[in-house]
Structure 1
Amino acid sequence: MKPKLKIFENFSHSILPHEALYLSKLANFQDEGKREIFNKVIHNALHPENIQEFDDTIDKRKYHYIKSWIEDKLYIIDVDKIGNWLLEFKRKLFLDLITPKDEKEMLEFVKTYHKIGFNFQNLYEIMKEYRSYLMIRLRFEDHQVISQFLEKFREAYKKSRDIQEKLYQATIDITEQYTSKNRFPIYWERWLTKVFMTPDINGSNRYKAFILLAFLYNTAGNEKKLQHIFDHIDQFFSHGEMYCRRLLYNYYSSRVLLYSKQNDLKNAIYYGKLSIRQENEDTLMYVNTLASMYFRANAISEAKDLLENYISYYENSHNYYRKITFVSNQLRVFTELRQFQKAENIAKYFLNKYEDEILQYRMHYFFTFYTHLLLHSEKYGEILNLEKKYKLIMNESQRKIKPDYIPNLLWSISLAQYMENQISKEHLIEKISKTIADVKLTKTNANFLRITASHLSQNLPQLTSVFKSYLT
């Protein structure tokens, strides 16, 4: 990094790929120096593996100009910036702190409002309050402007509010059926697709529909439809629609899931790294997703460094699902690094503190890696105690309907039973051979099945041939 250009180079590094694609459609710089600077910003955002150095002999004022130009172009389409502006207007309105400048900006915004935007619903609700504010002050002309706006968009607002309520019901149905391990509610698919693809629906509702569709297709293993909606949202972002960095980071994390389905780990890790650039309440979720990609790529050191760097997000999170996932990933890292005692200390402490939450949110995930750890440290009796206390096999059997189902706990517990002389070798092999037939091999679970097979075979080498016949 060149000292003279450190600030600009840091700024350039922060530009996201879809920001670069959008900006490239707007630029028409006649000045050669500005054009060179801008083109390198765009190139570096789109090709981080082939960074082009900036020329420090170019006038620094041109760097400042390009930085300001980019910031201005992104600011005016940033739905979060607009949303914050609306919320600040609402705050001032309620506290009677509104200024003539605030009102002038809002009235001009409303007068020129023609296309339903991302924050339409918030805007409409604030304008209802503002209309009353104007009437009580006998400002009839301005009151008329706001009243005309409210009447013009009255039906659109009603539709937006109804869609919001229905989206919430869809969210309840989809998440409840996911956590209860029932079949996924595909009947929501058609309606969600319509919401996502309809231009005159506010962007907030459209993006929520996209998130639910992505969740639905990902958990159902429908890679083709997942690719289809990602191609659409990709185009929206590239043209500056529904833009803000918060949504882009969320999208990049979702994109990881798509590449995961396609077993494209290089792109999955690339987008995973993009997703954790910004720190927000979802960062821990993005970290967990990226960690899972590192595991699949057998990049254990990278996974370890990632988890260590983001430990504070785990400690400060109140989302138990994400906390359990994070700790389970820690167990996986330390098991792979053969730091068994450290992993056991973490597992026992966490289970003692969050037993109810583990059983409610991520029982199978946590105990899969806990039992793998205990197999490696040859503590078979502890595995059997866990089965006796938590009925792990019975709970795991409810997951058979899942497309990526693997009976990890059944196999680990059965192996522990054999090692403790509770069942014969023949019985163990028969049990694994029989239940492996229930596994539907997919791009997503094939690698994990190989890892599971390797773990189990370390304790009983004869199991290698059982899994090999299925995996080949």
Structure 2
Amino acid sequence: MRNRLHKFTEFTGQLLPHETAYLLRTQQLEDPERLAILRRVDLNCRQVEQFTPYDLEIDKRKYHHLQNWIRQRLDDIDVDVHHEWLLEVERRIMTDSIEKEDEKKLLKQVRHYQHPSYFFMKFYEVLQHYRHFLHIRLRYQDHRLVNDFIVAHAASYRQSKECYDQLHAVTQDVVEQYASQSNESEQWQDLLEGVFLNEEMDGLNRYLALVRLTFIGFNYHNYDRVLAHFDYLDESFQEGNNYSRRILANYYGNRLLLHSQRREYNKAVYYGMLSVRARNYDYLFYVNNLAAVLLRLGRQQEALNLLQSAKEPAKTTVNPHNRIGYTAFYLEALIRNGRHAQAESYGDSYLRAYRKEILRYRWHLFFTVYLQVLLLQNHNEKALKLSRQFKLEDKDRAYSVKAGYLPTIPILLDLARWREGFTDDKTFQQRFQENRNAVPGNEKYQERFAVFCQSIGALLPEGVVRK
């Protein structure tokens, strides 16, 4: 029988701990039962892997009222909701179609503005358009109010714009180093920290600075410094500052990456499960990262269930990086769950459909898993044929100069040759040790290589070290 609180349970199941923390901190509920429900909602929000049922003895109407109250309270502070409204108001101002209620709301926000807001730059730009709208219509009093605001905040606006443009320039070095280790980015750390910690700077620039600081922390393995910034932001979110579900999901997703790098995998899973509660543009990216950690922990059935639930976003995404990542993790999850034939079929179909995309973007990740599937299916000749067709060994030699490179593809192809009788035991073992010695000494890469060896352990000949 369907739970009579199904809709409420479904709605609250998508809430995030920082949302309920803010609601509890600011609530003034006089009804003890409504407050008890809210506290149970908060408890369930934080228990990502278990659920405490709601009290069915409480009047169902109180649950309905609380659901509407929660939605309204969060919408009132949601910076993305406000930004969407600003964009619509801007359109209406520019087309001379702004409505009376929107004007009242906009003027009220000018009177009660507290600097800085998250989307301060957009608010300022809308008011610049509105000033023209008012002036030509001889609305002197409203024009004076808006004009005074624009003049008073002109310096802050210029500072925000300059910072925004500078962050774009900084991003080039940060991303290039993260993606290919070809640049240095540490020189930007002090500047970015200055932006992030500047409480007079608008929220958008501050959060953009934090994301780039996170990349730099990963580039230089300085995770403690990043964690200190995240803890600072955590307190701000609980107070309802710079809140939106999108921003919170991004924050949780970044914490998953951080804790994963620190080998705090249970914490990584916790934040990863929170990150996938919000469906947005980066949802598939969060799913992939969570699936990777679940697989690392041996929770392969959970990883497979998660990935299967994201099949539709994987089909519709325009981001090839995320789509190929999804496919690789899905194949790995199928392998881990003993569904080798299904994995081969899926890999075959994906390679036919997205051949050019794979070769252009994440070919090394895809073929590392796909070749494993073929070997597990004893289709060694097929693996070698694909290698010749796509010149995988040539591509791998060129790729081997990249930081963090692992010789997974040469090992898999050597294994296919050995299994087909083209290589004897001694030659294979010698080649395996040479490849193993080429793995960077960094503990992180040694651990990744050990996980890879474990995944192909059943295929390795006797005498090969499998650790």
Q: TM-score, normalised by structure 2?
A: 0.90
- Counterpart code for 2:362: R
- Counterpart position of 1:397: 400
Deviation at residue 319 of structure 1 after TM alignment:
0.7
Deviation at residue 59 of structure 1 after TM alignment:
4.3
Contact 1:119 1:202 survives alignment (8 Å): yes
Structure 1 10/386 Cα, relative in aligned 2: closer, same or farther at 3 Å? closer
Structure 1 4/221 Cα, relative in aligned 2: closer, same or farther at 3 Å? same
- Counterpart position of 1:110: 110
User: Does 2:272 align with 1:233?
Assistant: no
Structure 1 268/436 Cα, relative in aligned 2: closer, same or farther at 3 Å? same
Contact 2:439 2:449 survives alignment (8 Å): no
- Counterpart position of 2:263: 263
- Counterpart code for 1:332: E
- Counterpart code for 1:138: L
Q: Distance in 1 between matches of 2:464 and 2:455?
A: 10
Deviation at residue 267 of structure 1 after TM alignment:
3.0
Deviation at residue 234 of structure 1 after TM alignment:
1.6
Q: Distance in 2 between matches of 1:24 and 1:164?
A: 34
1:330-352 residue CA offsets vs partner (Å, 9 max, x unmatched): 22233334444433333333334
Q: Distance in 2 between matches of 1:54 and 1:77?
A: 27
Structure 1 11/421 Cα, relative in aligned 2: closer, same or farther at 3 Å? closer
- Counterpart position of 2:206: 206
- Counterpart code for 1:449: F
- Counterpart position of 1:182: 182
Q: Which runs of 5+ in 2 are unaligned?
A: none
Contact 1:167 1:208 survives alignment (8 Å): yes
Q: Distance in 2 between matches of 1:118 and 1:81?
A: 12
Contact 1:86 1:122 survives alignment (8 Å): yes
- 1:65-464 alignment, distance < 5 Å: 65-182=65-182, 184-388=184-388, 389-390=391-392, 391-399=394-402, 401-402=403-404, 405-420=405-420, 423-440=423-440, 445=445, 448-464=448-464
Deviation at residue 433 of structure 1 after TM alignment:
2.5
Contact 2:429 2:464 survives alignment (8 Å): no
Q: Distance in 2 between matches of 1:323 and 1:337?
A: 21
Contact 1:368 1:408 survives alignment (8 Å): yes
- Counterpart code for 2:308: E
Contact 1:454 1:464 survives alignment (8 Å): no
What secondary structure sits across from 2:77 in the alignment? coil
Deviation at residue 23 of structure 1 after TM alignment:
2.1
| Further displaced range: 177-186 or 197-206 | 177-186
1:175-205 residue CA offsets vs partner (Å, 9 max, x unmatched): 3343334255222222222222211111111
Q: Distance in 2 between matches of 1:189 and 1:265?
A: 27
| Further displaced range: 177-186 or 258-267 | 177-186
Q: Distance in 1 between matches of 2:446 and 2:226?
A: 19
- Counterpart code for 1:90: E
- Counterpart position of 1:12: 12
Structure 1 452/4 Cα, relative in aligned 2: closer, same or farther at 3 Å? closer
- Counterpart code for 1:398: V
Q: Distance in 2 between matches of 1:355 and 1:184?
A: 33
Q: Distance in 2 between matches of 1:417 and 1:4?
A: 61
Deviation at residue 120 of structure 1 after TM alignment:
0.3
Contact 1:407 1:435 survives alignment (8 Å): yes
- Counterpart code for 2:428: L
Q: TM-score, normalised by structure 1?
A: 0.89
Q: Distance in 2 between matches of 1:161 and 1:263?
A: 38
Q: Distance in 2 between matches of 1:278 and 1:312?
A: 15
Q: Distance in 2 between matches of 1:278 and 1:382?
A: 41
1:430-456 residue CA offsets vs partner (Å, 9 max, x unmatched): 333244334346675555433321344
1:315-337 residue CA offsets vs partner (Å, 9 max, x unmatched): 11111111111111222233334
Deviation at residue 150 of structure 1 after TM alignment:
1.0
Q: Distance in 1 between matches of 2:162 and 2:436?
A: 46
| Further displaced range: 164-173 or 90-99 | 164-173
Contact 1:196 1:210 survives alignment (8 Å): yes
Contact 2:48 2:274 survives alignment (8 Å): no
Contact 1:184 1:216 survives alignment (8 Å): no
Contact 1:44 1:52 survives alignment (8 Å): yes
1:394-449 residue CA offsets vs partner (Å, 9 max, x unmatched): 133122x23xx432123223333444555553343333324433434667555543
Contact 2:48 2:273 survives alignment (8 Å): no
- Aligned-pair RMSD on alpha carbons? 2.6
What secondary structure sits across from 2:5 in the alignment? helix
Deviation at residue 372 of structure 1 after TM alignment:
1.6
Q: Which runs of 5+ in 1 are unaligned?
A: none
Contact 2:175 2:215 survives alignment (8 Å): no
What secondary structure sits across from 1:281 in the alignment? coil
Q: Distance in 1 between matches of 2:128 and 2:249?
A: 33
Q: How many residues align?
A: 464
Sequence identity (%): 31
Deviation at residue 374 of structure 1 after TM alignment:
2.5
Deviation at residue 144 of structure 1 after TM alignment:
1.5
Q: Distance in 2 between matches of 1:5 and 1:311?
A: 28
